[in-house]
Amino acid sequence: MTSRGIVRSWNLERMQGVIDGNDVPGGCLVRFAAVAVDGFPALHPGDQVEFEWHRLGRPESGYVFECTRAWPVGSHPVVRSGRPFRAGLWRMNADGSAEGVSVGSSEQAPPALTTGGHTTGVVRTWNDEDGWGVIDSPQTPGGCWAHFSHIVDDGFRTVEVGAVVAFEWQQVTDQDGYRYCAIRVEQDRT
C-alpha cells in the first residue's frame, strides 16, 4: 500500500528511522535499504515522503508497520537493477547530509595484494543487531570488516565504537564493499 507521511526520526548510525502517516498509526519503521533515492540512502526528520508499507506479523522494535520503499514527495522512486544496494564511499557532514567520495579513476593500478597481518585499530562502527562492524587502522585503509564470530570473548560478542582492539586481518576481493576482513579480534582489557 502507498501512503504519504513525514519522517519523524532518522538514526544515521543505525541507518533506520520512523515515518508518521495517517495509514500507519504509531509510525512505520524504515531502514536504509528501503530508501529509494539516488545517492546516499538516508532520510531527514521533517521530510515529506511517499512510502510503501506492510503490516508485520509481529511487532519489531515496537512498530507494527514496516516500510518497503520510501522517496521524497514530488519525485519518483529510484529503481535499482540487480542488487538492491550498491556500495559507495561517503563523507558524513555534521548536519546529517552525505557526499559521495571518489577514490580514484579506473586507470589506476589496483593496490598490491597483501596476505594479512596483525595490528591494532579503532572500532569505527558496530551493529549488534547485524553482528558486524568496521575497524580502522593504517594497515587496512578504508576500513576492515569484522564479524562477531571472530571476536575472542565469552558470551555475547560485541565491541564498543571507539574502542581500541587488536586484530588479525586478511585482504579480500570484496566483503560488503571492504578490501580487508578481520579473522580474529581481541579487546583491550586494561
Please report the pLDDT score of residue 92 as a whole number: 64
Measured CA to CA, the distance from residue 54 to residue 68 in angstroms comes to 7
Contact 54, 28 (CB under 8 A): no
Measured CA to CA, the distance from residue 190 to residue 91 in angstroms comes to 33
Please report the pLDDT score of residue 115 as a whole number: 67
For residue 182, the tally of other CB atoms under 10 A from its CB is 25
Measured CA to CA, the distance from residue 9 to residue 153 in angstroms comes to 34
Measured CA to CA, the distance from residue 104 to residue 142 in angstroms comes to 13
Which residues partner with 69 through β-bridges? 52
Please report the pLDDT score of residue 160 as a whole number: 92
Q: Which three cell numbers stand for residue 38?
A: 539516488
Residue 111 gets which letter from DSSP? P
Q: Is the pTM of this model over 0.85?
A: no
Q: How confident is the prediction along the chain (190 residues), in pLDDT tens digits per residue?
A: 889 999 999 887 788 999 999 999 999 999 988 998 887 788 889 999 999 999 999 988 889 999 999 999 999 888 765 444 445 566 666 666 666 665 554 454 445 555 678 999 999 999 988 889 999 999 999 999 999 989 998 888 899 999 999 999 998 888 888 889 999 999 876 6
Geometric angle at alpha carbon 7, from 132 and 72, rounded to 5°: 100
Q: Which three cell numbers stand for residue 130?
A: 547485524
